[in-house]
Amino acid sequence: MYSYGMKTTIENDFDKFIKELTSDESVDEENKDIGISVEDVLAHQKKQKALEKERKLRQAKVQKQREEARQKIRDKYNIKKTDDLSTPAHSDATTSLDENNARAAQQVSNVENQDATHQPIDEYSRIEQISGEVAAANSRIVADTQGDQAILVTDANTRSAAIEEKHKLKIKQFAEEFDVVKA
C-alpha cells in the first residue's frame, strides 16, 4: 500500500512538473514549486525501468525453470506437449476411433514395459508384516499398562486401608470422649 501511495504521489508530481514545463502561461497556483528536480525525475524513471527489467528477467528465469520441470514430467510419462498435438476443436481433422484405440494400446504397452522394469511388491505380505508388528506392539502396550495398573491398584488399596484405619482410630477416640462427657 505504501509503494502504491508513493507511486501515485510521484506520478502526480511528475504530471504537474510536465505541465509546468510545457505551459507557456505564467506561474499560477497549480504550477507551484513541487521540490522535485528534473534529475530526480529522470533518475526515478531510470530506476523504475531497471527494476522492471530485473523483474522481467526474474520472471523469465522462473518460467524457464517451470518449463524444464514440465518437460521432465512429459519425458517421464511420454506425454506430448499440447503445442505438438493437433487439436480437433481447432481443425477440421478429427481422430478416428481406430487412432484412439491405437494410442490406448500404445499407452498400455508403455505401462506394461514400465512394470516389467520394476520388481513387483507383494502388498499383501507387507500388510501382514505390518499387521503382525502392530499386533506385537499393541500386546506389549497392553501388558505394560496392565502391570502399571496392578501396581497403582495395590498402592491405592494400601493407602485407602491406612486412611480407613486412621479414621477408625479417630472415631474410636471421639466415641470415648463423648462417653466421658456424657457420664
The domain limits of the chain are: 1-23+32-82, 128-183
Out of 59-63, 133-137, 149-153, 160-164, least confident range: 133-137
Give the tens place of pLDDT for each residue, 119-159.
Answer: 455 566 667 777 778 888 888 899 999 999 999 999 999 99
Give the tens place of pLDDT for each residue, 19-29.
Answer: 777 665 544 44
As given in the structure block, the three cell numbers for residue 76 are 517421464
Q: What is the 3-state secondary structure (H, E, C) of the chain?
A: CHHHHHHHHHHHHHHHHHHHHHCCCCCCHHHCCCCCCHHHHHHHHHHHHHHHHHHHHHHHHHHHHHHHHHHHHHHHHCCCCCCCCCCHHHCCCCCCHHHHHHHHHHHHHHHHHHHHHCCCCCHHHHHHHHHHHHHHHHHHHHHHHHHHHHHHHHHHHHHHHHHHHHHHHHHHHHHHHHHHHHC
Higher pLDDT, 120 or 162: 162
Q: Say if residue 84's pLDDT is above 70.
A: no
**Alpha-carbon span 45 to 71, nearest angstrom:** 38
- Whole-number mean pLDDT of the chain? 76
pTM of the model: 0.29
